[in-house]
Amino acid sequence: MTSSVTPGRFYGVGLGPGDPELITLKGARVIREADVVAYHAGVNKQSYARSIAAGLIGSGVLEEELRYPITTGTTNHPGGYAGALADFYEHSAARLAAHLDAGRTVALLAEGDPLFYGSYMYMHDRLSARYRTEVVPGLPAFAAATAATASPLVRQSDVLTVLPGTLPEAELARRLADTDGAIIMKLGRTFPAVRRALAAAGRLSHALYVERASHPEQRWMPVADVAENSVPYLSLIVVNGDSLNGRRSRIPGVEAAASVEPSVNAAELLVVGLGPGPEGWLTPEAMVALSDVAHVVGYAPYVARVPQREGLQRHASGNTVEVDRARHALELASRGERVAVVSGGDAGVFGMAAAVFEVAQDERFNHVPIRVLPGVSAVQAVAARAGAPIGADFAVMSLSDRLKPWSVIDARLRAVADADLVLAIYNPASRARPDQIAVARKVLLEHRCADTVVVVGRDVGRAEESLTLTTLGELDTDTIDMKCLLLVGSSATRVTSSGRVWTPRWVR
């Protein structure tokens, strides 16, 4: 028999940071009118959410306390910590669903904002598709924290990043160095590592610790002054934006960098190849150089690979502004700053080295010495994984036509094919030019046999690495993208019985 009861409405109500007066008018109304008020509670703790909204909960209202079985530590659950929490959320959702199926309105209380690092989200995931759901936003804790310190967080074009203190220390330091303003949440036991990350990023002097924002017990102080063993969960860190603190912009080509007159005592500019990815493929020479510079300039994913440390400023930018990056680095070096321009693989192979020398032709930078530090190139890495396909003469080409017309690429493909050279292909395809590798394959097939050996290396050196051995005739160009490097063999390239690829050194 089908029930005639109309299901109830499900609300996620943000309560703000703790002061009951910071609950929104709408949130207060929903709580007062709800048939059921639900809230989470920690192990052996009273519900913090309920304590905030206590004055709004009527005497006849049904209450559902959703008490966590664990918080951190060990558990006997066969699925471990994640499994125990998944079961808890499923059980909690079933309890709330029973009320909703009975036609009752359910208000689930959430500290701060329901969709910002909150427990409400796990109920939302399980119930919002089945019941009418409305989220009532709440004031996030960091807004109350910045109000408590009365210090602007970000202004103008500053970028704000919200970070969990549970990130690995090195990753946290990198992200802090790469943003303007920051909020760090989830402190408690993570605080010592967070403070070290702030110091490594050069942000400790701008960091303020705020505890129990908006509470009567609220307090705040510089992070450097906080006792490590006195940090509760209800605390966070505010790092004011760069425009407030007068830090130099990390964006290439900005007026702040260009407006400074070059110094006659220019520092040497280093152009450093980082290798294809793994830390073990970074040369000792490059490692020493990066540990000594004060500035690292480069494409954002490559800059991200340089460990953050105190005193290091990072200047990350997008993928198609090589000349701007080079100019910014030369301007820094011309003022006597110690600068490294970083590039993936080898900086001299389709990397930043040529862009640096291009800009260095400007007479303003004649006095800046430039040194290029070699790195393991992607073609070397893929070839090593495959065996020895470039053991004899080989050519290297990029299919990108951003800096040269396709007619030139076509002519060079034909010349390489006619010369019977092993060919390494960089930048084989992208979203903007997905069909160029297919066109290149057709050109090569006009000069090479269909059974010509082809190696496709994807993300070589990274966790997602794959190596595919195929032929020119069987190559599936639809699977090729910018993460791939191709090695197209010569007529002499061979494959061993174990699947290893090699090209003889001799030519008969």
**342 vs 287: CA distance, rounded Å:** 12
DSSP designation for 119: T
| Other residues' Cβ atoms within 10 Å of the Cβ of residue 127 | 20
- Write down the pTM of the prediction: 0.71
* pLDDT reported for residue 244: 59
Query: What are the two backbone dihedrals, phi and then psi, of residue 160, each rounded to the nearest 5 degrees?
Result: -105, 130
**317 vs 456: CA distance, rounded Å:** 29
Domains and CATH numbers, the chain: 10-138 (3.40.1010.10), 142-245 (3.30.950.10), 255-373 (3.40.1010.10), 379-502 (3.30.950.10)
**309 vs 199: CA distance, rounded Å:** 8
* pLDDT reported for residue 500: 97
Query: What are the two backbone dihedrals, phi and then psi, of residue 247, each rounded to the nearest 5 degrees?
Result: -70, 145
Residue with tokens 């090479």: 448
Provide the token pair at 432.
């903007």
Contacts of residue 114, defined as CB under 8 A and 6 or more positions apart, other chains included, come to 12, 13, 14, 108, 120, 121, 124, 135, 136, 137, 138
**185 vs 117: CA distance, rounded Å:** 9
User: Distance of CA 174 to CAs 236, 301, 403, Å?
Assistant: 19, 11, 32
* pLDDT reported for residue 248: 44
**68 vs 44: CA distance, rounded Å:** 9
Task: Return the closest-CA partner of residue 242 out of 282, 288, 193, 206.
Answer: 206
Task: Return the closest-CA partner of residue 334 out of 303, 359, 300.
Answer: 359
Task: Return the closest-CA partner of residue 296 out of 171, 178, 179, 375.
Answer: 178
Contacts of residue 252, defined as CB under 8 A and 6 or more positions apart, other chains included, come to 297, 315, 317, 321, 324, 325, 327, 328
Pair 399, 436: CB distance under 8 Å? yes
Encode the chain (508 residues) as per-residue pLDDT tens digits: 456 789 999 999 999 999 999 999 999 999 999 999 999 998 888 999 999 999 999 998 999 999 998 876 678 888 888 888 999 999 999 999 999 999 999 999 999 999 999 899 999 999 999 999 999 999 999 999 999 999 889 988 889 999 999 999 989 998 998 888 999 999 989 999 999 999 988 899 889 999 999 999 999 999 999 998 889 888 999 999 866 565 544 444 433 444 445 555 778 999 999 999 888 999 999 999 999 999 999 998 899 899 988 889 999 888 788 999 999 999 999 999 999 999 999 999 999 999 999 999 999 999 999 999 999 999 999 999 999 999 999 999 999 998 999 999 999 999 999 999 999 999 999 888 889 999 999 999 999 999 999 999 999 998 899 999 999 999 999 999 999 999 999 999 999 999 999 999 998 7
Task: Return the closest-CA partner of residue 9 out of 122, 96, 84.
Answer: 96
